[in-house]
Structure 1
């Protein structure tokens, strides 16, 4: 047997409609069972380099690109989020990287844009620390997060004052229990103890 041939070493049912195909015990991907049957894929099947190249393009890379585009039509994703989603779909890591390179080349994913949009639309009431942690958890580079936060106009003190005015402006003559309740509310949102205490004192002295 020529060394240029590859072997389908494993065919595993994923569910009623999909199978996982493994070649040479190295590369594996998930595809429709009906498509695998049409392409006559089975354990022990020999694949020439040309056969595998066609399979890779039509059954792995193209579907990975199409899946990425489909997901991005519904909402924005960070690079890491999309990578994790595509990997969970059963695409090989190499194909996932190529699919992400493809959508990134058209600026369909842009972590800096994602971070700026998050600050614009989803940061209300959250401390800079909490926002930074959320963006980091989404896989955004710390340098991008830091740059976007530096440009963010709202300071933690301004956010605390805004939240306090909307939620606690009616609270006067604060008892130790009320003060502790308000303090804990802001601490849970990631604000610093000193900043919260400073704002509480401002309003309590009015």
Structure 2
């Protein structure tokens, strides 16, 4: 494969692009070590050495580092690795690696998220949040079902009302509207909010 471009990414790293559309990032010292230059042929042996000895190991370490800082969904981890300019095959390897050791688990992530947020957010808002984090809808539904058990949306609305020291029936229409708007922003359904406030 022919190296068509070597461009500076930052002070330490360079982006290498090949005629076949493959691109990867190496440190300047690594480029010197392999003697890579523009318009030069990159043999499959050298590329495999770079891929296996540098890129795969680096992506795995990066994935581990990212998960050490905070729990992430598979989708979030993929996005972070893409930001590091890793190729899809390298990302796939890193994801498989951390999955093998159970460092990433969307089921666990979703259940933990629901458990931590159910006192503050409605089921609908939790669903939206988890979808935005790239969690599969089926996984989300199982997590909600497992974590909410018998607790209903109306019971959660009552908790918010009590937390805000709102007394049903003793407030004027303006206060009632404010509470209604507050609960709607939390993601509760209008009919549930009205049923409780009535």
Determine if the TM-score, normalized by the shorter chain, exceeds 0.5. Answer: yes
1:125 aligns with 2:145: no
User: Which of the numbers 168, 173, 178 marks the counterpart of 2:175?
Assistant: 178
TM-score (normalised: structure 2)? 0.93
Report deviation, 1:186: 0.4
Q: Which residue of 1 aligns with 2:82?
A: 87
Instruction: Indicate the RMSD between aligned Cα atoms, in angstroms.
Output: 1.5
Cα distance between partner residues in 2 of 1:131 and 1:155:
14
Cα distance between partner residues in 1 of 2:117 and 2:30:
42
Corresponding residue SS for 2:3: strand
Corresponding residue SS for 2:2: strand
C-alpha offsets along residues 61-82 of structure 1, whole Å, 9 cap, x if unaligned?
Answer: 1111110011111111100000
Cα distance between partner residues in 2 of 1:142 and 1:174:
39
TM-score (normalised: structure 1)? 0.89
1:164 aligns with 2:161: yes
Report deviation, 1:7: 1.7
Consecutive unaligned residues in structure 1, runs of 5 or more: 1-5, 202-206
Cα distance between partner residues in 2 of 1:51 and 1:33:
16
Q: Which residue of 1 aligns with 2:104?
A: 109
User: Which of the numbers 66, 70, 94 marks the counterpart of 1:71?
Assistant: 66
2:161–2:167 Cα contact (<8 Å) kept: no
Report deviation, 1:193: 0.9
Q: Which residue of 2 aligns with 1:52?
A: 47
Cα distance between partner residues in 2 of 1:13 and 1:165:
58
